[in-house]
């Protein structure tokens, strides 16, 4: 099965970039540094093409950086990228929807939101009928985050 071959290739590539030499320990060395929606399809570290939802991973011990598709990150590394992509897709379809807590925290950590914007977003997540003023603020924040989520975005 090509899926097994892809899994093997992914684990070997990650191990090669890690301090540990076994998968169980190697995968714990990595944190989610960035998530991007690619404009052009790219190839996952496992060899799978095409991927659009890209996760940038950073090794905490040797500072290595690599990029892996969201599916592999969710399946094999267990990092919260999938929740972020699901939220981003929802907001892309309807910019009046709220981002989820994982995405708000991620955006704040990246410096894309002020502390006020983070608190406002967290406080209004479950508000189904925000005031017009709150809705306008939510849309403004959403647009900013969507811009930053594109590879090379923010400019």
Closest contact distance (angstroms) between CB of 73 and Zn ion is: 8
Q: Bridge partners of 57?
A: 32, 66
Question: Which positions touch Zn ion (CB under 5 A)?
Answer: 44, 46, 48, 69, 72
7 neighbors 46 (Cβ within 8 angstroms): yes
What single-letter DSSP state applies at residue 130? -
Nearer to Zn ion, 41 or 154 (CB): 41
Which tokens belong to 68?
């892996």
**What does the alpha-carbon distance between residue 59 and residue 13 come to, in Å, rounded to a whole number?**
13
Closer residue to Zn ion, CB minimum distance, 5 or 143: 5
Nearer to Zn ion, 13 or 33 (CB): 13
DSSP of 8-53: HHHHHHHHHHSSSSSHHHHGGGEEEEEEEEEEEEE--TTS---EEE
Residue 44: which of 75, 20, 18, 22 has the closest Cα? 75
Q: How far is the CB of 13 from Zn ion (least distance, A)?
A: 10
Least distance in Å: CB of 35 to Zn ion?
A: 15
Q: How far is the CB of 79 from Zn ion (least distance, A)?
A: 13
Asked, as a colleague might, if the bond just before 50 is cis with ω within 30 of 0, I would say yes
Of 80 and 130, the one with the shorter C-beta distance to Zn ion is 80
Min separation Cβ 88 and Zn ion, Å: 19
CB of 44 or CB of 57, closer to Zn ion: 44
């Amino acid at each position: 099965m090509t899926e097994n071959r892809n899994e093997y290739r992914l684990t070997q590539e990650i191990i090669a970039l890690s301090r540990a030499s076994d998968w169980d320990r190697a995968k714990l060395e990595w944190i989610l540094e960035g998530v991007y929606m690619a404009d052009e399809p790219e190839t996952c570290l496992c060899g799978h093409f095409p991927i659009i939802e890209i996760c940038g991973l950073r090794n905490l011990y040797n500072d290595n950086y690599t990029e892996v598709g969201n599916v592999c990150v969710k399946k094999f590394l267990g990092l919260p990228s999938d929740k972020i992509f699901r939220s981003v897709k929802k907001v892309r379809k309807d910019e009046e929807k709220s981002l989820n807590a994982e995405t708000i925290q991620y955006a704040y950590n990246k410096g894309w939101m002020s502390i006020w914007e983070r608190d406002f977003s967290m406080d209004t997540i479950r508000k189904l009928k925000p005031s017009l003023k709150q809705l306008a603020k939510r849309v403004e924040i959403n647009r900013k985050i969507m811009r930053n989520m594109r590879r090379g975005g923010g400019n």
